[in-house]
Amino acid sequence: MATSVVNFDDDKCVSKTHLRYFDIGHVSLQHLLPIDGYQNFPLLQLEDAVESVQLLINDIKTKALIAKKNCQQPKGNLTSNESAAIQLYTMEWYPRDQCLYVMLNKTLRSKERDQLKPWFPYLKLLMTALWKIPSIQCTVWRGIHGSNLSDEYDEGQCYTWWNVSSCTDSLTLMKSPTFLGDKGLRTLFNIECKQGKAIQTHSYFKEESEVLLMPGFYFKVTGKFQSGDGLNIIQLCETAPDYELIKPPFPNQTPLTLPSMVQSQLHSTIHTTTTETTIPITSVRKQSTPRSAKILPNGTSPTNSIKSSYSLDESTTSLTDEKQTKHELSLLKSKQSPLTELTITTTAENKQCPPKPTNTKKKEIISTVTTKKNDFPLIKTVKNVSDPISKKVEEIHQNLHDPILDLVKISLTNEELKLITNTLLYNTTRIKVDLTQTKLKGYDISLITELLTTNQTITELNLSRNSIEDNGSIEISNILKFSKYLKILNIGSNQISQQGILKIADTLTTNKILNSLNIESNPIGNLGIKYICHTLSSNQHLTTLNIWKTEINNDGAEFIAIMLTNNQTLTYLQMGCNKIDDKGIKLVANALKKNKILTNLLIGYCEIGIKGAKYLAEIFQTNSTLMVLDLCHNQIMDDGAIAIIDALNLNDYSYMELDITRNDISNECLMLMEQFMTTENHIIINYKNQN
């Protein structure tokens, strides 16, 4: 068990305003009960949600009101109270051990789950807010000053952080004097997260690039090493637990997505009929929701005997409900009879699902589209839908919490794509849509544009290995122009030429959301790369670029070098499988002597020789940022490999992953590399399969 935690009253702490980044707490192999029960509480005003913990935290209601005043116009689709719940979590005051995040995290880490009950109203508001924020997959950092936790985290072992974990996606910020600094004993966590929540727009400290990991963060230790000057680095990777560690912020029952009159039919959405049928929208309105029922935030209502507290929205809670809730909160504070769940029952007519057809290859399927205007579903019938597509639509309706919609290698007609996109328009759980190799054409992409312009949760889109071509690139540019949430886009292998990439590059000039672009295996050539690089010289948001096999040569490398000299955000560049030789790589290497941002450079399958390797070796005289260098399938030979290794050794490089597979390197040179890796230098060299 780790025993090093932050002393929040220590005047010698590196930071006085960022201590939540160091609130690591204790970790052990003991499994705790899941975080459960809070989801049954109603959504309250923030000042009411913290009322039950005001005996624990002095003047907490005043601080809640301050946070709320700062969040009158929150970003995204959060309410003022939800945004303020996040801001209240990030606020820091004196004494430090009385900050809300300190008290909450201490309770979340406790094996005594009953201690969480006073926190349930606030936790409901906070978790609802975090659930609404689109998840991001990225590398984040957090740490602790004054302790080495390496011995407490065994490589290959899985652990759980039960608390809310504040991280930053900026290594430079984490190493700054106001955070970990560069002196003394320190532990730095390098975390590959898949469900991070970027809260910068809601934080009290908006200058920080803060990413929250939600309670019950389950991870595997993938590596650890010391980099000198007292810095110990532990590498973590988020992984899926065997069971749910924290319940979603809605009741245990699967939340409904349609009014009860239609819902039963959608439990089995696939059925056969001989004629096309349409359910009139008027009948939906008449039978959808009893007058006494509450409307859920997504426009739905509870059904017979369904326990629902998520329906108690701030704007719809009745006076009777408020009195009941305040009474239950008072019981919480007095610890007499704490509220464990709130039950609301409504009456609605049950409909029997039509029987599921058998032995049919093509089926008729109900497609539902919720309109913004009235929040009632439009029901229409689509004929001739293939089995794989009908199953996917059924999954979208029934498996509401799966964040990924995987349609890889499922051929889609335009009508089937329309069905899929219509079903997803107002879905709030999907964050990634994978349409790889689905035989999409350029004219299909307009449906994707409409989807991403409307949907507020999809952050990752994969359209690779289709036939978008130049005529579809206009719609790709529209996606980048109008989508406010898309962060990762893959349009590799789509026969897009320099004309098509020009339209996309123009849009990147103003796009401030996208951080990863994959355009590999498109014949854009040197002119296309010129367009992209010109845009990235001023774009300060893109962090990942893949231009593998894009038919560029040394002229294209020159444009890349100019971009690297000016760009301040790109950390990952894949430019392999192009006709770039020593002359071109010299230009790139010279740019990287000045660039202090790029961490991953992949230039495998090019035409780089001994001279090119020596140019790259010169980078390490001034650049200590580059951590991954892929030179596989080139021709650097013994002299080139030794030049790079000597440069890393001479400049005491703290960490490097080097791939020199298939470079005509002799066995004698390989033996020297093995000896080099056995030293305390943290250099990982992949050199297998040289012949």
CATH of the domain at 568: 3.80.10.10
Please state the rounded mean pLDDT for residues 305-331: 40
In this predicted structure, the answer to whether residue 4 has a pLDDT above a threshold of 50 is no
Cα separations (Å) of 609 from 289, 548, 621, 636? 72, 19, 20, 4
**Averaged confidence pLDDT in the chain:** 77
3-state secondary structure (DSSP) of residue 212? strand
Residue 687: predicted pLDDT: 78
φ and ψ at residue 652, rounded to 5 degrees = 50, 50
3-state percent breakdown (helix, strand, coil) of the chain, nearest 5: 35, 15, 50
Letter for the amino acid at 604?
A: G
The range of the structural domain enclosing residue 53 comes to 19-238
Assigned domain for 193 exists: yes
3-state secondary structure (DSSP) of residue 404? strand
**Which residues are within 8 A (CB) of 270 and not within 5 positions of it... i.e. 6 or more apart?**
356, 357, 363, 364, 365, 390, 394
Q: Are strands 460-462 and 432-434 parallel, antiparallel or unpaired?
A: parallel
Residue 52: predicted pLDDT: 92
Helix (H) or strand (E) holding 61: helix 60-69
CA quadruple 177, 182, 184, 186: dihedral sign: positive
Tokens describing residue 439: 């035989």
In this predicted structure, the answer to whether residue 548 has a pLDDT above a threshold of 80 is yes
3-state secondary structure (DSSP) of residue 569? coil
Assigned domain for 77 exists: yes
**What's the pLDDT tens digit per position in 600-643?**
999 999 999 999 999 999 998 888 899 999 999 999 999 999 99
CA quadruple 26, 32, 34, 38: dihedral sign: negative
Residue 1: predicted pLDDT: 38
Assigned domain for 666 exists: yes
Would you place residue 300 in the very low, low, confident or very high pLDDT band (cuts 50, 70, 90)? very low
Beta bridge partners of 684: 657
**What's the pLDDT tens digit per position in 326-349?**
544 554 444 433 333 332 233 333
Assigned domain for 243 exists: no
The sheet with strand 404-406 has its strands ordered as 404-406, 432-434, 460-462, 488-490, 516-518, 544-546, 572-574, 600-602, 628-630, 656-659, 683-686
Residue 287: how many other CB atoms lie within 10 Å? 15
Q: Which of 139, 237, 130, 136 is nearest to 195 (CA)?
A: 136
Assigned domain for 314 exists: no
Instruction: Indicate the pTM of the whole model.
Output: 0.50
Would you place residue 219 in the very low, low, confident or very high pLDDT band (cuts 50, 70, 90)? very high
Would you place residue 470 in the very low, low, confident or very high pLDDT band (cuts 50, 70, 90)? very high
3-state secondary structure (DSSP) of residue 390? helix
**What's the pLDDT tens digit per position in 517-539?**
999 999 999 999 999 999 998 88
Would you place residue 462 in the very low, low, confident or very high pLDDT band (cuts 50, 70, 90)? very high
Tokens describing residue 113: 């789950």
Assigned domain for 568 exists: yes
Q: How many domains does the chain have?
A: 2
DSSP string, 619-683: GGGT-----EEE--SS--HHHHHHHHHHHHHHTT-S-EEEE--SS---HHHHHHHHHHHTSS--E
Cα separations (Å) of 557 from 516, 584, 611? 20, 5, 16
Q: Which of 474, 493, 421 is nearest to 452 (CA)?
A: 421
Would you place residue 116 in the very low, low, confident or very high pLDDT band (cuts 50, 70, 90)? very high
Q: 196: domain CATH number?
A: 3.90.176.10
Please state the rounded mean pLDDT for residues 427-446: 89
Please state the rounded mean pLDDT for residues 167-184: 77
Helix (H) or strand (E) holding 481: helix 469-482
Structure letter (DSSP) for residue 250: S
Residue 452: how many other CB atoms lie within 10 Å? 24
**Which residues are within 8 A (CB) of 582 and not within 5 positions of it... i.e. 6 or more apart?**
607, 608, 609, 611, 612, 615
Residue located via tokens 């955070």? 179
CA quadruple 679, 677, 608, 535: dihedral sign: negative
Would you place residue 137 in the very low, low, confident or very high pLDDT band (cuts 50, 70, 90)? confident
Cα separations (Å) of 449 from 425, 442, 454, 458, 472? 11, 12, 9, 12, 11
Residue located via tokens 């996917």? 392
Assigned domain for 96 exists: yes
Burial class (CB in 10 A: 0-12, 13-18, 19+), 358: exposed
Q: Are 41 and 121 in contact (CB under 8 A)?
A: yes
Please state the rounded mean pLDDT for residues 237-259: 70
Query: Domain boundary residue among 185, 204, 238?
Result: 238
Phi-psi region of 595 (alpha: psi -120 to 50; beta: other; left: phi over 0): beta
**What's the pLDDT tens digit per position in 73-104?**
898 889 999 999 999 999 988 888 889 999 99
Q: Are 256 and 400 in contact (CB under 8 A)?
A: no
Q: Are 462 and 433 in contact (CB under 8 A)?
A: yes
Residue 617: predicted pLDDT: 95
Query: Domain boundary residue among 206, 238, 270?
Result: 238
Q: Among 138-147, 576-585, 647-656, which is the least confidently predicted range?
A: 647-656
Residue 418: predicted pLDDT: 87
Tokens describing residue 464: 């690779």
Q: Would you call the peptide bond into 523 cis, given omega within 30 degrees of 0 as the criterion?
A: no
Share of the chain above pLDDT 90, in %: 44
In this predicted structure, the answer to whether residue 151 has a pLDDT above a threshold of 80 is yes
In this predicted structure, the answer to whether residue 278 has a pLDDT above a threshold of 70 is no
Query: Domain boundary residue among 219, 238, 257?
Result: 238
Please state the rounded mean pLDDT for residues 230-242: 90
Residue 63: predicted pLDDT: 94
Residue 349: how many other CB atoms lie within 10 Å? 11
Give the highest mean pLDDT range of 250-254, 271-275, 669-673: 669-673
